[in-house]
Structure 1
Amino acid sequence: MRLLIVDDGHYIVEYLKHLLDWNNMGVKNIRTTTNPIEAKQLLDQAYIDILITDIRMPEVSGVDLLEHVNKNKLRTKVVFLTGYSDFEYTQKAIRLGAVDYLLKPVDKDDMEKSMKKVLKQIEEERLKTNIDWKNFDGLGYLLSVISGHHSIPHDYKLYDDALASETYCFFQVPTARVNDEILLRDNSGGVEHFIWSTDTTIAGIVLKSCTESLANRIDTLTFSDSFHFHQKNTVRHNFYQFFYNEHVSAGEFEWLRDRVVFPNLETGSWESFRKTLLKMYAQMLSGKQKITFLMELIHFLYFTYCQLQASELKDWIFNQLNHPDATFHSILIAISQMEKDIRLSNDDMINAVHAYIADHLSDALSLDELGRVVHLHPVYLSKLYKQETGENLSNYISMKRLEKASRLLIDSNLHVIDISHLVGYKKPQYFIKLFKEQYGTTPQQYRKIRLGRDANG
């Protein structure tokens, strides 16, 4: 969150800047100014979550700044610093929607109480925004938080903000009973998207405030230390400590980043991909290194290839990963299956392209048009087609057009110019040139030769 402190007294601004542990409250960016005109510009230029401002200043007052916030429909929460003589100003500020006001000189406890009030309002408003919790991918979110690699983009900003203010714990029920999952979902504090069940285990994340109630209902339930999602190193440390009893430091993730770069897997390079994985895995000497490597691989596969089944991932993460060698073997088997599925899928796309070409030989048939048929970028379609068939797509189209032209020359009395148009060539001379290159003779000669043979036969 971003905080802006405005007061025409420099020493007051500095005092407030260091009054609280702002970082611990989730305030990562603090701007200060003694110039209220500059403050108005800052409000316009950068989204400010919280404005703490003196209520009376020369030229532009704190009330003026609040009116500016309201006029421009900014979501900035405003807290005023006032003196006993500012009663009328303060009344107006409250009417205009100020969250709170503090009497000068500002006491640390009063400021802390006021900020908690502000943060609560911000959180309530964020939760009311149109966040699609129904389709929220809790497993993907967890993987993005605990991963040491950041090369794969994830658009979780809205969820980051909504989840930032709460305290959470990992949990696990190793021998779950039939009703345990129902109890967990009904008493998780509304975070059902963080509850995952496998054949033998239920695991996931719940609000810390719910842990005592749940522990009283489920005997085998255990919890990790608490964490906030914005403290990613803490989340990662707790995750590995709780589920795998491994202490993973930030330095060990740096070591992993230096040695593990997953290749951009393209169709046709699966065998090379497997060899690369085997080579990288061989460098992992300890159980801890193997487990962290496999979690990074799971993260990479999950966000790169949607063919992976969620049930497989949950089983790897919450059941198998304590036995990394067996898990790695299971992942390699899943990759082989993905390869088969993708190849089948590619065959379907090639067949769809062929069918469309057959029905539209008289059209221009651009790569853009064919790409739209199978929902692929035209450049990727061209590359994929060459990889799967060994020939260029343009050559295939030309071959099919000339094949149709050869049949029309024999089966119809159409002029060569008409046949040229029917197979997609608007310039007959170009059509005749291509036809001669393919069949060794002009269309007219081809017709004469073939019909002569048929008559003699």
Structure 2
Amino acid sequence: MRLLIVDDGHYIVEYLKHLLDWKSLGVEYITTTTNSINAKQILNNNDFDILITDIRMPEVSGIDLLQHIEEQGLKTKVIILSGYSQFEYAQQAVRLGAVDYLLKPVDKDDMEKAMKKVTLFIHTKKKSTPVAWDKLDGLGFLMTVISEHCPPRDEYNPVHSALVDESFCFFQLPETEERDEMIFLDYSLEYKRFIWRTGSKLIGLIPASGADNLSSIFPTLIVSENFEFSQRNVVRHLFYQFFYKEKVCPSDLEIMRTLPSIEPGECDLARKQIQKNFSQLTSRKHKIIYLLELTSALYTMDTKLQQADVVDWLFNQLSEPGSALPIIMISLSQLFNGNKSSNQMIVQTIHDYIACHISDDLSLEELGKIVHLHPVYLSKLYKQETGQNLSSHIAMKRLQKAAQLLIDSNLHVVDISQLVGYKKTQYFIKLFKDQYGTTPYQYRRIKCEAVKN
């Protein structure tokens, strides 16, 4: 279990922290704070089982924390500390849901009795709320753990309680067959909702107790370090490290303050804000964090969003955030338009992708994957919406980029040809001359002379 101690007196906090043999009572993790204002955020982020708090503190009281726990649907059980003059106030706290209250100065025996009362209450509650494993949205549950801003959901409270004593590890298994998946499901039992197939590989998380046996069966199995869901920050850290090879610390998550709120009817505004925020992020790590939080928000909002798509985003697409953004933006458009695909949004997504990947393979097959459309259908849709062939648009953009590089840089024509996606320089020169009426060499000389004059 996880315990949070909140009191504005540093001495009291330290006294309580060393008052009992907490591990003997089942408490494995203790956090303390003398800042009652931060206590709400700490409660939200760390999934505490028990809170011991002073009833009177500056700015945020123990009553305020009780009300916050109720409003947020947290499972945390509360023991209130109070002075003799606050006796009626403490009784009010019990009426609001506190399991017990203790008078200051706190006696060791009284605290031990209160803790036994709370732990009994927690274990009894755990047994009385069975988990419907077959109906569990394992992906949704995982989102609430790894996402910084995913709102708490009451439906997952029994799951947290049921998993409190279980260790897990993330895994990846490439090139699997249907039989392999059946073996994994047999080993995972009720936790099979945490296993997903994406393409030819299996991915997700499994109980740590079965990892060794599965590794002996599947030599190519890759697993992460063990973790417990009660340690939310550890789970998040391992997730980013295992699937994206990025080390994420709490300070990295501060960029999420820029995440725009997404409100129905505000699709264009949200899209522009998301693209603006994304363009301001310079590191791959921060772009991945941003898109993961956005993915979490979309999955929470849209019950019709296909789980297979979100699994693909998380475990395949987000590792290349620049390519993942257009895919997510299409889903955002669909979300605000009754799940009807917006042709204009698809065209805009293709344009944005081309602008960012001008040197890449921009075949119809590759572009079709970006917007989840068959290449033939994408070609017809683009011609219908723009009156232009998609291949003509790509060629125009490549030659425009080449013309810009001829003026703004001293790069050789051979290098510019490669940068705009043409491997054969002579073919590039022919296309450039057809477009601008002159060769790249002549174009550069003419433009440079014009600038001098």
Q: TM-score, normalised by structure 1?
A: 0.52
How many Å separate the matches in 2 of 1:122 and 1:166?
16
Partner of 1:247: 247
Q: Distance in 2 between matches of 1:220 and 1:20?
A: 41
Whether the 8 Å contact between 2:133 and 2:190 is mirrored in structure 1 is: no
State yes or no: 1:19 paired with 2:45: no
**Mapped pair 1:328 → 2:328:** no
Partner SS for 2:325: helix
Q: CA deviation at 1:232?
A: 1.0
Secondary structure of 1:171 counterpart: strand
Could you list the runs of 5+ residues in structure 2 that have no partner in the other structure? 4-14, 31-47, 53-78, 103-108, 342-453
Deviation per CA, 1:282-331: give whole Å up to 9, x if none: 01211111111110110010111223111110111111221111111111
Going from structure 1 to structure 2, the CA distance change for 1:328 and 1:15 (only over 3 Å counts) comes to: closer
Q: State the distance in 1 between where 2:126 and 2:277 align.
A: 42
Spell out, residue by residue over 1:62-120, the C-alpha distance to the aligned partner (whole angstroms, 9 max, x if none).
9xx99xx9xxxxxx9569xxxxxxxxxxxxxxxxxxxxxxxxxxxxxxxxxxxxxx78x
Report the residue type matching 2:234 in the other structure: T
Matched, 1:311 2:308: yes
CA contact (8 A) 2:256 2:290 kept: no
Shift of 1:222: 1.1
**Inter-partner Cα distance in structure 2 for 1:334 and 1:44:** 46
The equivalent residue for 2:69 is: none
Distance 2:299 2:293 in 1: 10
Which string of whole-angstrom CA distances, capped at 9 and with x for unpartnered residues, describes residues 145-189 of structure 1? Answer: 111125x34222222222222111111112223322111111025
**Higher Rg of the two aligned structures:** 1
Q: Does 1:162 align with 2:159?
A: no
1:188 is paired with a residue of what secondary structure?
Answer: helix
2:238 equivalent to 1:238: yes
- For residues 177-226 of structure 1, give each alpha carbon's deviation from its aligned partner in whole angstroms, at most 9, with x where no partner exists: 33221111110253111111112221111111111111111122111111
Matched with 1:29 is: 51
Q: Write the letter of the residue equivalent to 1:244.
A: Y
Contact in 1 for aligned 2:2/2:28 (Cα 8 Å): no
Deviation (angstroms), 1:234: 0.5
Q: Within 5 Å, give how 1:102-121 maps onto structure 2.
A: none
Structure 1 partner of 2:259:
260
Percentage of pairs with the same residue: 33
Q: Does 1:279 align with 2:276?
A: yes
Give the Cα separation in 2 of the matches to 1:16 and 1:286: 42
d(CA) in 2 for partners of 1:217 and 1:23?
Answer: 33
Q: Unpaired segments of 5 or more residues in structure 1?
A: 4-12, 52-60, 70-75, 80-117, 345-457
SS of residue in 1 equivalent to 2:196: strand
- Paired AA for residue 181 in structure 2: E
TM-score (norm 2): 0.52
The count of residues paired between Structure 1 and Structure 2 equals: 278
* Partner Cα separation in structure 2 for residue 337 and residue 34 of structure 1: 53
2:334 paired residue number: 337
Pick closer, same or farther for the CA change 1:199–1:45 going to 2, 3 Å.
Answer: same
